[in-house]
């Protein structure tokens, strides 16, 4: 005869290896607080609906609170043979208060219980992650404001393109992180639906009040179809996808900073406390944190792949495969959260090296487009202006000169329309300040964006 809580129809006890194989307690013990919260809400509802007696409900709630305290303190003894956190808590409840404890699973199944817990856990963690992202954006805004005068090149194909404000570059990542925040907010809404009361998948014959448990647990709404509710893990995939997108943004940001930190570029210096040394080469100061964040992005992508493959082709309703949903979700949250906070600290330690940048921005013909625009404004069609400017660049390259080295007579050889005022147009400062189009890199525009971000972030 099986001793399991579900053992009634079994004549033999479970094989030891099977117990070990099917157990998920090492992973899902993380959900204990949510499991207890959900059980308390469930019991309150059973009492209100007169499905269990008031005095029984009080005893169950008291015992559940004691169990929570025990787990908090680390004195709770988990039993692997009890499979998961739900069974461990229920078993302990029954041990504490006997037969009354056995009433808790009325009008409930582990199928709706586990997914209620996981939704609650996900909601909490999305809030935490969004809070950290808000801190990161605030830190970036400060750096952006502080460096409003720093001019850097931006690159396309890793070739110098045009001069921009460093703040414009930083703001581009603020945009990405704001998108991450709204993606996470949307994911939160998707998770904010109570499945409790769906039971095994068909609902229940008891007169339960699903709206009440949802309200007690802080869910915005209740799920509409019990069968879908017990196997819906879309919110898990959505959450990991949101984390993946954020990690992808981090990995790109890290890559930019790693390149800029190289001695060949030298645009930035990372604070000593946020770099590491080499065990053999004494001169090294490596951007290991940034490289690790870039590397950890792949583990979150792995988590996303894991859940998507788990869900593919799964038959309707609950299947035990779904027990495997927790590891990728927990792992994605852990990695993304850690990366967000260490990245925020690291970015605060970064300083731009104006001298190094200066030596770089004067080469590379970054204001060539401004010459083409100059010619267009003097009546030359853009394609022709582009060709003329290309020839000027070629001439400079052959003579090992930069644009500002040319004499006006030399310029005039390429087009009679070029006048002495060309020299104003080819400065980096002019180039930047002329980009007044909405979303462009001029100081006015960048300052406007900073003000806008501050307003947005205050409301988040």
247 vs 244: CA distance, rounded Å: 5
Told to judge if 278 belongs to the known catalytic residues of this protein, a careful annotator would answer: yes
Residue that has been written with the tokens 């001169």 in this structure: 283
The catalytically annotated residue of 13, 55, 262, 278 is: 278
Residue pair 261/270 in contact (Cβ under 8 Å)? The answer is yes
Whole-angstrom CA distances from 458 to 130, 134, 174 are 13, 9, 14
Residue pair 422/371 in contact (Cβ under 8 Å)? The answer is yes
Judged by beta carbon, residue 319 or residue 401, the one nearer ligand ARG is 319
Among 24, 223, 275, 336, binds ligand ARG (CB under 6 A): 24
Judged by CB under 6 A, the chain residues 98 through 157 that form the site for ligand ARG are 110-111, 114
Judged by beta carbon, residue 314 or residue 393, the one nearer ligand ARG is 314
Judged by beta carbon, residue 29 or residue 96, the one nearer ligand ARG is 29
Closest contact distance (angstroms) between CB of 335 and ligand ARG is: 21
Told to judge if 105 belongs to the known catalytic residues of this protein, a careful annotator would answer: no
Closest contact distance (angstroms) between CB of 72 and ligand ARG is: 22
Closest contact distance (angstroms) between CB of 320 and ligand ARG is: 6
Residue pair 85/32 in contact (Cβ under 8 Å)? The answer is yes
Judged by beta carbon, residue 116 or residue 428, the one nearer ligand ARG is 116
Q: Dump strand ranges (E) for 60-199.
A: 151-156, 159-165, 193-194
| Cβ within 8 Å of residue 53, ≥6 positions away | 47
Residue pair 21/31 in contact (Cβ under 8 Å)? The answer is no
Among 35, 56, 68, 84, binds ligand ARG (CB under 6 A): 84
Closest contact distance (angstroms) between CB of 116 and ligand ARG is: 11
Q: Dump strand ranges (E) for 225-350.
A: 268-269
Among 177, 235, 318, 330, binds ligand ARG (CB under 6 A): 318
Angle at 364 between CA 362 and CA 367, to 5 degrees: 75
The β-bridge partners of 154 are: 162
R_g (Cα) of the chain, nearest Å: 31
The catalytically annotated residue of 157, 205, 273, 279 is: 157
Binding track, positions 26-55, relative to ligand ARG; x by CB under 6 A? --x---------------------------
Among 322, 375, 422, 432, binds ligand ARG (CB under 6 A): 322
Which residues in this chain contact ligand ARG in the complex, by CB under 6 A?
Answer: 24, 28, 84, 110-111, 114, 318, 320, 322-323
Known catalytic residues are 157, 278
């Amino acid at each position: 005869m099986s001793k399991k809580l579900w053992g009634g129809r079994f004549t033999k006890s479970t094989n030891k290896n099977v117990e070990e194989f099917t157990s998920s307690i090492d992973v899902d013990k993380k959900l204990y607080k949510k499991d207890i919260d959900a059980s308390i809400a469930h019991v309150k509802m059973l009492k209100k609906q007169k499905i269990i007696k008031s005095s029984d409900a009080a005893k169950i709630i008291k015992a559940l609170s004691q169990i929570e305290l025990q787990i908090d303190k680390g004195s709770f003894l988990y039993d692997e043979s009890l499979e998961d956190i739900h069974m461990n808590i229920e078993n302990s409840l029954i041990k504490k208060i006997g037969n009354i404890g056995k009433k808790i699973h009325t009008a409930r199944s582990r199928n709706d219980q586990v997914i209620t817990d996981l939704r609650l856990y996900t909601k909490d963690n999305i809030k935490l992650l969004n809070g950290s992202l808000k801190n990161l954006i605030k830190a970036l805004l400060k750096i952006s404001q502080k460096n409003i005068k720093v001019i850097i090149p931006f690159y396309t194909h890793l070739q110098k393109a045009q001069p921009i404000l460093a703040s414009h570059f930083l703001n581009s990542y603020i945009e990405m992180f704001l998108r991450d925040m709204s993606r996470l907010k949307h994911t939160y809404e998707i998770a904010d639906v109570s499945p409790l009361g769906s039971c095994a998948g068909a609902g229940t014959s008891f007169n339960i009040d699903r709206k009440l448990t949802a309200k007690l647990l802080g869910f915005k709404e209740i799920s509409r179809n019990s069968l879908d509710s017990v196997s819906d893990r879309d919110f898990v995939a959505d959450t990991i996808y949101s984390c993946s997108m954020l990690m992808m943004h981090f990995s790109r940001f890290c890559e930019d900073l790693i390149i800029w930190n190289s001695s060949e570029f030298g645009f930035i210096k990372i604070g000593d406390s946020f770099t590491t040394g080499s065990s053999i080469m004494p001169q090294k100061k490596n951007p290991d944190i940034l490289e690790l964040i870039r590397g950890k992005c792949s583990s979150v992508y792995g988590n996303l792949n894991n859940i998507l493959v788990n869900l593919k082709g799964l038959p309707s309703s609950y299947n035990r495969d779904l027990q495997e949903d927790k590891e990728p979700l927990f792992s994605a949250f852990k990695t993304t959260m850690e990366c967000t906070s260490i990245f925020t600290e690291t970015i605060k330690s970064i300083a731009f090296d104006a001298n190094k940048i200066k030596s770089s921005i004067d080469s590379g013909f970054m204001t060539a487009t401004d010459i083409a625009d100059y010619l267009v404004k003097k009546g030359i069609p853009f394609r022709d202006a582009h060709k003329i400017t290309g020839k000027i660049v070629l001439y400079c390259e052959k003579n090992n000169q930069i644009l500002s080295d040319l004499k006006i007579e030399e310029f005039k050889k390429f087009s009679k329309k070029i006048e002495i005022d060309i020299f104003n147009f080819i400065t980096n400062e002019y180039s930047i300040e002329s980009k007044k189009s909405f979303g462009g890199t001029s100081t006015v525009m960048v300052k406007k964006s900073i003000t806008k971000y501050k307003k947005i972030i205050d409301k988040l």
